[in-house]
Amino acid sequence: MKKNNELVTHRKEFTKQFYRHNKWSFVAAITASVLTALGNLVVSWLMQQIIDTASGDAGTFSLLQLAMILLVIVSGIVMVSVLEYYVRPLFIKNAMRQYKDYAFEEMAKKNINAFTGENTSIYISALSNDATSIENNYLAKIFTLVQELLMFAGAFALMLYYSPFLTLVAFLLSFFPVIASVLTGNRLAMQEKQVSDRNESFIGMIKDMLSGFSVIKSFKAEREVFRLFAKSNSAAEEAKCRRRRTETVIQTIGFVAGIIAQFGVFLFGAYLALTGRGVTAGVVIVFVQLMNYVLTPIADVPQILANRKAAYALIDKLAAAIRSNVRKTGEEMEPVLARGIELKGLSFSYEKDAPVLQGIDICFEAGKSYAVVGGSGSGKSTLLNLLMGSREDYEGEILFDGSELREIASASLYDIVSIVQQNVFVFNSTVKDNITMFREFTEEELRDAVNMSGLAPFIAERGKDYACGENGSGLSGGERQRISIARCLLRGTPVMLVDEATAALDAKTAFAVSNSILDISGLTRIVVTHRLEEALLRKYDKVFVLRNGMVEEEGSFAELMERKGFFYSLFTVSQ
């Protein structure tokens, strides 16, 4: 029950976006729908008047007067159409733009590592196919719904006014279409959700195929991958096919039941007119027309409501995905580190009963530099990721100047720490944009970051407006890493985490870059490294040696070497 309420609250946040700063176009579009419905009803009334006046039955107006009324109505309909032309697309455009903008803003609140662990296809599908479905089946249908319900009520009132008896007959004959609609409506919602789920898998498949294209080619796995593609493609098309079939069934049942009801009224009305029971020819013809206005909503409304339900399911799916892996808002902090970062009894595991870090007690003092070394899988990257606030499900404490990491607001945390990672994402833009991350910095700040990261020769040769290409396709691995280091240096955070940042650089550049990072004074540096180079290791204030998720040894390079323990053997093997 609580979960249901939460779902509805999250959904409301999303549906609110349709109307935010968009109320007037919504009201105008609804007004146009109301006027269209009224126009249609008045046209029916006019038709009855014209037929009865022409066939000699007593009418209230002369033919000339009726022609004048017709002129007024037609002008009115044209004006309403013009209003509709402007406001309906305007409402839908703003609604969808705001909906997607909101979804993106909410996605940006997720944890720093959220999209490395989650299936991202759900978001791509939600902002493409699902959004189109919501636009067509939910938003555009609001106006159809209003128009049809009004026409239904108006037609029913007019029918009662013309002949209560014939209305009763019409009511009984409408029973079939009502049953038919209700029976088929709900199936559609279920099938729409299935279409969305299959689409999501299909997008995931395409994403994998494109990202792993070089692996597929080099392992000659095209056939095998094509088989997977074809399976996923076929499943997505099957789901759409089933939905289309259900739509056809709904339409056919509605059509047949409608014909039975309409002709039943027509024949019965004709009988009443011929036997002189107070029903004119005009009334019979108008009844057939009004029956349309009654039957169309009976056929459409359950389908529209089912589609609304389907759209809600799509919104709920996106809302639930967006609400997971979100860092809760915490306290604001000054962008400084005065004392240091303390880890107290820190333990963490990705999966139950498989600890990756166990009972770690470390103090990183402000302004000093630390190396974290250890064998592959010993938990080095996990430690850095935890310091970046990627997870909150650790045991023990991570204290920044005494404040628990979980309680620090994301914005404050990333003003204090920044990370240079192994895998560098490069945007399809210039080198300068990739270093500044599209923000403004002074020329001097930029020059310093470029010099320290070892990018200066590259920029001197290609210029800072050099286009990096999609995901840095125009750059070497080393150049990408230098961009990442420059990015981090430019941010100027008091804490810099470095995860194997120099792995892709040649030995000489790697040494120069590491050296310049180690020479910055006042910066707290925690560097994960596999490169066990004495000249560099001697520059760290302390080296922490991890083994099976625990701190096996700690001390300066000289102390560790003297101890002749685990580090000593790691170091000597690597030389």
Ligand X SMILES: Nc1ncnc2c1ncn2[C@@H]1O[C@H](COP(=O)(O)OP(=O)(O)OP(=O)(O)O)[C@@H](O)[C@H]1O
Q: What is the DSSP string of 312-345?
A: HHHHHHHHHHHHTTBPPP-B---S--SSEEEEEE
Joined tokens for residue 513: 């870059």
Residues 355 and 333: their CA atoms lie apart, in Å, by 31
**Closer residue to ligand X, CB minimum distance, 94 or 378:** 378
User: What contacts 368, CB < 8 A, 6 or more positions away?
Assistant: 340, 524, 525, 541, 542
Q: Name the residue nearer to ligand X (CB basis): 14 or 364.
A: 364
CA atoms within 13 A on the CB side of 304: 18
**Shortest distance in whole angstroms from residue 476 CB to ligand X:** 21
State in angstroms the smallest separation of the CB of 360 from ligand X. Answer: 12
CA distance 2 to 538: 57
Instruction: Considering the complex, state which of residue 148 and residue 500 has its C-beta at the smaller distance from ligand X.
Output: 500
The angle at the Cα of 102, spanning 18 to 127, to the nearest 5 degrees, equals 90
Minimum Å distance from CB 338 to ligand X? Answer: 29
Q: How near is the Cβ of 381 to ligand X at its closest, in Å?
A: 3
CA angle 14, 15, 16 (to 5 degrees): 90
Q: Are strands 542-547 and 550-555 parallel, antiparallel or unpaired?
A: antiparallel
Give whichever of 258 and 374 is closer to ligand X, judged by the CB atom.
374
Q: How far is the CB of 118 from ligand X (least distance, A)?
A: 11
* Phi, psi values for residue 188, rounded to 5°: -65, -40
Shortest CB 318 distance to ligand X, Å? 23
Nearer to ligand X, 377 or 477 (CB): 377
Question: In angstroms, what is the minimal distance from the CB of 426 to ligand X?
Answer: 21
Dihedral (C-alpha) 398, 404, 406, 408: value to the nearest 10 degrees?
-120
Which CB, 181 or 382, lies closer to ligand X? 382
Tokens of 252: 């056919």
Nearer to ligand X, 377 or 457 (CB): 377
Binding site for ligand X (CB under 6 A): 117, 350, 356, 374, 376-382
- Closer residue to ligand X in complex, CB, 144/349: 349
In DSSP terms, which residues pair with 497 in a beta bridge?
Answer: 419, 526
Nearer to ligand X, 31 or 381 (CB): 381
CA distance 296 to 300: 6
How far lies 84's CA from each of 27, 81, 146, 195, 233, in Å?
Answer: 11, 5, 14, 31, 38
Instruction: Report the nearest approach of ligand X to the CB of residue 411 (Å).
Output: 25
| Helical packing angle, 222-274 and 164-173, nearest 10° | 150
Smallest gap from Cβ 429 to ligand X, in A, equals 29
